[in-house]
Structure 1
């Protein structure tokens, strides 16, 4: 079936299977990098919030051979696993004192999000942009709920972007502390768990690589702008770093070595973008460089 028919059948099945009272709708949602997806929301029992289920991804599974009934059951499970337990008081968002400690920041690509950036406060950072969100909830099983902060919010709060940045810079490192680990350790662990690895399988990366993210793996690329963090790591390792933006959720630090090549590392970033990421997870297409002497990131 084509995508339009897929949506229609999904809606018909949900109307049948979700008990009344309910409100089920599909609306277009603009995600990171200007990606527009069809977001399905299901609100039961006059609840005013709902997880957003992106039908585009479920249709991709169907196109790749997964039976429709299995796709539908997967969608239902995802909804049940993330269904809110009650309403949210939206009025709390109008009083900044209620959410001050929940304001955080993340990194997105500037050029790919120029339309979005017209509506949200941001700060340029190289070819990226620092934007701000409110972390409503963070749950291991149900996922994280966030609200992107727009200019209209700042107007209501009578606040400037620079003030928001100072608050978010302090908060983000506290509520989403950094996590650094050796990529080779991860590869060895995966190899040990695998029952189908051939004897000649190479599980070493070509350079020393360290994954930098936060403890929740949520917008962890922002760790590179945590105050003094890269300076601390570089001082411990006694080396500068290449920074590979592997997604909006993490970066890879590569210590500067004689055989490390900027162009080759940038090609690795592009390959990951092309083969491993959804379009809305891409942060950038090239490597960056951190200098200990200058305490600065450059392109």
Structure 2
């Protein structure tokens, strides 16, 4: 049975098993970096939230020996559980005041999300985009959220700038920053992060900046005074290596670094992006430089004396 035959058979099996209070929708959901999720959404008539389940994942399970009946039982069993909100269901959430304290921000690649950015409010930040997410639930390892769309922001009558102000207050509160040595978190969160430690790496210690959920944690570079406090602690400028949308690596800049050292850092980012992360987790191929004296974050260029191609004052 090929993929399309499987999808048709699965939907038919679900239709035969579910009662009329539950509808089945096949959706093509645009995710980060242009990744499209082919999914099924099961929605109870009385519910605003619907499970959105990857059909590719289900087909992989089918090829490994799971039966259609088993997969249907799995989907039905989670129909009434809290799962990520289907994008279309948010159009019914008209009360802005109810959700204003749950609006947070994320950082994504601007270049790889041109189509997505046409559909959502966003703020430019260097080569990246600040987008906004409504947190439905965040407890332990469970995180239920949905990206704020143009349709939703229009129904709320709020601008991207107004969302940014709210997210600036909410995000550090909901997702406190975590800053630790790389080796102390490598086994816990980032099994691929050892690839950053190049054999010619000129620094003995790298640090991971993320949030306490280790999810969309690269946005911690936006937290008010976070980079300033770290730079003051080190007494130096900071080099920031984007590992993924979930975290960045921090290196204290040093007068002892040579041009080849900076080449190692920049090339390591590109190599890891090509070889070690999922396409939807890519953030940037650029290294960033935080200048302590001016409280300024900029794209690092290998041209000295501050002639970077772009910069942004930290928020």
Which TM-score applies when normalising by structure 2? 0.77
Q: Is the contact made by 2:91 and 2:152 (CA closer than 8 Å) also made in structure 1?
A: no
The alpha carbon displacement at 1:5 in A equals: 2.4
Q: CA deviation at 1:233?
A: 0.7
Question: How far apart are 1:183 and its partner, in Å?
Answer: 0.9
- Structure 1 residue 261: deviation in Å? 2.8
Q: Residue 196 of structure 1 corresponds to which residue in structure 2? A: none
Once the 2 structures are TM-superposed, how far is the Cα of residue 48 of structure 1 from its aligned partner? Answer: 3.8
Q: In structure 2, what is the Cα distance between the partners aligned to 1:24 and 1:166?
A: 37
1:140-219 map, 5 Å: 140=140, 143-187=142-186, 206=201, 207=203, 208-219=205-216
Q: Give me the whole-angstrom Cα distance separating, in 2, the residues matched to 1:72 and 1:255.
A: 55
Q: CA RMSD in A?
A: 3.4
Distance of 1:273 and 1:51 partners within structure 2? 30
| Residue number among 209, 234, 248 corresponding to 1:237 in the alignment | 234
Q: What is the aligned partner in structure 2 of residue 194 from structure 1? A: none
CA distance, structure 2, for counterparts of residue 256 and residue 286 of structure 1: 16
53-62 vs 222-231, greater mean Cα deviation: 53-62
Where in structure 2 are the equivalents of 1:38-187 lying within 5 Å? 38-44=38-44, 46-59=46-59, 67-69=64-66, 77=74, 80=77, 83-84=80-81, 93-140=93-140, 143-187=142-186
Distance 1:146 1:75 in 2: 25
Any conservation in 2 of the 1:187–1:203 contact (CA below 8 Å)?
no
Q: CA deviation at 1:234?
A: 1.1
Q: How far is the alpha carbon of 1:19 from its aligned partner?
A: 6.4
The aligned counterpart of 1:198 is none
Change (3 A) 1:41 1:155: closer
Distance 2:182 2:95 in 1: 43
- Per-residue CA deviation, residues 16-75 of structure 1 (Å, 9 max, x unaligned), is 66666432232111111122120122235753422211222444566xxx6131898578
Q: TM-score w.r.t. structure 1 length? A: 0.81
SS in 2 for 1:106: strand
Higher alpha-carbon deviation: 204-213 or 7-16: 7-16
Structure 1: 5+ residue stretches without partners: 191-200
2:305 corresponding residue in structure 1: none
